[in-house]
């Protein structure tokens, strides 16, 4: 099933900044392990969102001796895009429901 | 110990040569952290190291596919043209070689040009090798580097006073020797035996000719010779770099398999 990955990633970041693997784990946790995002798709998406200014990446040094982590946070533009995606999804859901769940005449 | 993760990172780095170096490095660090953290989590839930290592990499898919997707994203600061990128280090080598020459010999000190050419060529070869190991080799970078080396070698040779080969290879006259010879030809014995009056006369004529001929005329004369030499050297350096990369990749794969 094709899902709206962009909207999901933006929604996950709504709770606070996360690094790439953190986003994957959070998506799994929020969907009770039903949704697994391929990392091969995630990073290109994160880079595109960063280029578009919807998220901002920051390198953090969590602990001395540990490698630095790049965490992503939602920007104002990212919030706006998330709202747009939500509206689009609601509209899409309504339309699909009307057709898919319609009882036979 | 080498692993699938190591192999994956090497392959990914190779696929991302068109990415700006700084961003490529950052992306590789990010991917490595992700892979290692994921592997660590898998081991924690009871998976063996070997399986976890393999599984982590599988989640990312083929390095070439991953790289294609990443490169497909719009870049604010795109990587420079590959040909130009391949020759960047060679240009830096040329500048470095000139600087070293200036330090060692000093301008107008009439020191031996072969030192300059040898130092410069060595710098270009070392830096070119480093560049070709990191960058994707293509015809553009080959031609650009050959052209740079040609100009370097031809200008170095044009600065000599006696053109090599004019005395059938019997004598080599570097600049410092040449100036002493001009002052007193009889004081300079040949390496192959005592210098005859005729040879001394011929050398003196050639030195006069060398002094009188404009630099540009000599430079043009040596362009063809320099091009042959430079193309050969560049080709050998590229071949060595390609073989090095191939061997490094094979070793990484082998070690991953053994692990």
Residue B211 tokens, joined: 């002094």
Q: Which two tokens stand for residue B51?
A: 């399986």
Question: With a cut of 0.90, is the ipTM above it?
Answer: no
Tell which wins on pLDDT, B86 or B213: B213
Query: Residue B241: its pLDDT value, please?
Result: 76
| Whether residue B165 has pLDDT greater than 50 | no
Contact between residue A23 and residue A88 where contact means Cβ atoms under 8 Å apart: no
pLDDT band at B1 (very low <50, low <70, confident <90, very high): low
Sheet holding A55-60, edge to edge: A18-19, A69-74, A55-60
CA distance B15 to chain A (A): 14
Residues of chain A below pLDDT 70: 1-3, 62, 65, 104-105
Q: Is there a contact between A69 and A59 (Cβ–Cβ < 8 Å)? A: yes
Q: What percent of chain B has pLDDT over 90?
A: 0
Instruction: For chain B, count helices (H), then strands (E).
Output: 10, 0
Widest CA span in chain B? 91
Q: Please state the separation of Cα A61 from the chain's center in Å.
A: 23
CB distance from A40 to chain B under 8 Å?
Answer: yes
| pLDDT bracket for residue B19 (50, 70, 90) | confident
Q: Is A32 left (phi over 0), alpha (psi -120 to 50) or beta?
A: left
| pTM flag (> 0.90) | no
The listed range with the strongest mean pLDDT (B46-60, B165-179, B199-213) is: B46-60
Could you tell me the end-to-end alpha-carbon distance of chain A, in angstroms, rounded to an integer?
Answer: 28
Mean pLDDT of B187-213: 61
Contact across the interface for A47 and B73, Cβ inside 8 Å: yes
Using a CB-CB cut-off of 8 Å, the residues of chain B touching A67 are 29, 32-33
- Chain B residue set in contact with A, beta carbons under 8 Å: 26-27, 29-34, 37-38, 59-62, 65-66, 69-70, 72-76
CB pairs under 8 A between A and B: 56
Torsion, CA B173, CA B177, CA B178, CA B179, rounded to 10: 170
Q: Is the pLDDT of residue B95 over 70?
A: no
Whether residue A44 and residue B75 make contact (CB cut-off 8 A), yes or no, is no
């Amino acid at each position: 099933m094709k899902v709206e990955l962009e909207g999901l990633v933006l929604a996950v970041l709504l709770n606070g900044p996360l690094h790439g693997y953190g986003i994957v784990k959070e998506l799994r946790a929020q969907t009770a392990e039903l949704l697994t995002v391929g990392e091969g798709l995630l990073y290109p998406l994160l880079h595109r969102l960063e280029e578009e200014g919807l998220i901002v990446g920051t390198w953090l040094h969590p602990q001395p001796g540990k490698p630095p982590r790049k965490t992503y946070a939602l920007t104002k533009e990212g919030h706006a895009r998330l709202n747009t995606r939500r509206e689009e999804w609601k509209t899409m859901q309504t339309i699909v429901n009307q057709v898919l769940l319609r009882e036979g005449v | 110990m080498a692993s699938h993760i190591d192999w994956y990172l090497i392959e990914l780095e190779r696929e991302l040569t068109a990415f700006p170096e700084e961003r490529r490095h950052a992306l590789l660090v990010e991917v490595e952290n992700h892979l290692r953290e994921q592997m660590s989590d898998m081991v924690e839930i009871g998976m063996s190291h070997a399986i976890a290592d393999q599984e982590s990499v599988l989640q990312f898919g083929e390095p070439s596919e991953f790289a294609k997707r990443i490169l497909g994203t719009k870049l604010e600061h795109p990587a420079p043209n590959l040909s130009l990128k391949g020759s960047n280090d060679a240009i830096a080598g040329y500048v470095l070689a000139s600087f070293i020459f200036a330090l060692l010999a000093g301008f107008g000190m009439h020191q031996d040009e072969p030192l300059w050419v040898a130092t410069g060529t060595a710098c270009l070869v070392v830096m070119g090798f480093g560049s070709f190991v990191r960058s994707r080799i293509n015809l553009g970078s080959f031609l650009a580097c050959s052209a740079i080396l040609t100009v370097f070698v031809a200008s170095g040779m044009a600065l000599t006073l006696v053109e090599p080969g004019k005395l059938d290879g019997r004598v080599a006259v570097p600049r410092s020797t040449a100036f002493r010879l001009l002052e007193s030809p009889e004081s300079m014995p040949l390496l192959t035996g005592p210098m005859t009056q005729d040879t001394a006369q011929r050398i003196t004529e050639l030195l006069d000719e060398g002094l009188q001929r404009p630099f540009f005329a000599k430079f043009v004369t040596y362009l063809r010779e320099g091009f042959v030499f430079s193309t050969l050297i560049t080709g050998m350096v590229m071949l060595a770099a390609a073989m090095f990369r191939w061997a490094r990749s094979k070793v990484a794969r082998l070690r991953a398999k053994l692990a």
